[in-house]
Amino acid sequence: MVDEKIVREEIMNLKPYIPGKPIEEVKRELGLDQVIKLASNENPLGPSTQAIEQMKEAINKVNIYPDGNVHNLRSKLSTNLGVESDQLIFGNGSDELLVMLGQAFMRSDDEVIMAETTFSEYEFATKLMGAKINKVPLKNNTHDLEAMAKEITDKTKVIFICNPNNPTGTIVKKDEVEKFLKEVPDDVVIVFDEAYYEYVESTDYPETINYLLDYDNIIILRTFSKIYGLGGLRVGYGIANQSLINYMERVRQPFNVNTIAQIGATASLDDSDHVAKTLDYNRQGKEYLYQEFEKLGLEYVPTDTNFILVDLPMSNDKVFEEMLKEGVIIRSLSSYGYNTEVRITIGLPEENKKLVKVLKDVLGV
Ligand SMILES: *Cc1c(COP(=O)(O)O)cnc(C)c1O
């Protein structure tokens, strides 16, 4: 037994992350051969085939260390986004960038503001650094930026805004964000986590890159894990002004993004057909699921992402367990403090159909 006294106090109240159940694990445990996973907001079409081809070639070069500067991906993204190449930083998923933000900015007496119901890794990064968390309840399933601004004190260091928000799928609008930015002091780092940026259809969604012209304290996080279908590779990136990027670069490990990930991500950027097709499937799947949920009288939150929060007439953990037995993995939101809500990733047409069928069986309707 390791004596608790030798452990950093900050980690005593951390719990290991519980990811969506892997397909293989469910097959093994329940003896099923057909299992679908609609739990982790992955792209059901898989990665771009062009990216797969390039990655196959890249495997021959893995004796060589990755490009620590991520040159090719950086240069392509900087062109696409219209920012300078030194306004970008890459991470082993945007998860790693969240930890790097903590390492670069959070001290133990700092306060960090986040929504009460949002992506769990903000809390992880904050607790890891021993900073204090101030959670602000959502309003209509959306970040309440007015209430969040009111919570700012002299000790506030970082504010996380997940836009669109995971697990609700909602956005904060351009006018709300612009009003909010004026109220935040420039010694507070504002993080816009835009993991689902490419899926957004609402026209009043802010184009936050434009705010970098006026604000040095903003960082935008995006990822290749969701629409690009590369969750298994771990590539995310941050966009900010040079000084903020510079401080984060100091805590970055030299080879944090591996060779295959760099090549896969770069090739994905060239496959706009794959992105368009993904959006098409997502839109159709969303409409289908909305209709089916309405027929079942279930309340759901309209989404700007590839997942839908649905409220069920029974315990979310119970529904999760029952659906699992039928080979459908969804996400119970009990760990977010909800009792009857689940999060369902929009899948391929046949996956969505199976989901609806199994859900009906489990609800007994
Ligand atoms: C999935 C997700 C991420 C994590 O992305 P990675 O790049 O795979 O680490 C970050 N933020 C939100 C809100 C997400 O849903």
Which H or E element spans position 115?
strand 111-115
What is the tally of helices (H) and strands (E) in the chain? 12, 13
Pocket of ligand 1 (CB under 6 A): 41, 93-95, 119, 162, 166, 193, 195, 223, 225-226, 231, 236
Q: Which atom of ligand 1 is nearest to the CA of 166?
A: 13
The Cα 92–Cα 170 span in angstroms is 26
Q: Which atom of ligand 1 is nearest to the CA of 91?
A: 7
Q: Name the 3-class secondary structure at 329.
A: strand
Give the chain's domains with CATH numbers: 4-33+273-363 (3.90.1150.10), 49-269 (3.40.640.10)
Ligand 1 centroid–CA 28 distance in Å is: 27
For 84, counting Cβ atoms within 10 Å of its Cβ (0-12 exposed, 13-18 middle, 19+ buried), the class is exposed
pLDDT in tens, the chain (365 residues): 999 999 999 998 898 887 777 899 999 999 999 999 999 999 999 999 999 999 999 999 999 999 999 999 999 999 999 999 999 999 999 999 999 999 999 999 999 999 999 999 999 999 999 999 999 999 999 999 999 999 999 999 999 999 999 999 999 999 999 999 999 999 999 999 999 999 999 999 999 999 999 999 999 999 999 999 999 999 999 999 999 999 999 999 999 999 999 999 999 999 999 999 999 999 999 999 999 999 999 999 999 999 999 999 999 999 999 999 999 999 999 999 999 999 999 999 999 999 999 999 999 99
253-284 burial, b at 16+ Cβ within 10 Å, e below that, comes to eeebbbbbbbbbbbbbbebeebbeebeebbee
The Cα 164–Cα 223 span in angstroms is 13
Q: Whose CA is nearest to atom 12 of ligand 1?
A: 195
| Closest alpha carbon to 173 in 140, 219, 151, 136 | 140
For 311, counting Cβ atoms within 10 Å of its Cβ (0-12 exposed, 13-18 middle, 19+ buried), the class is middle
Which H or E element spans position 311?
strand 307-311
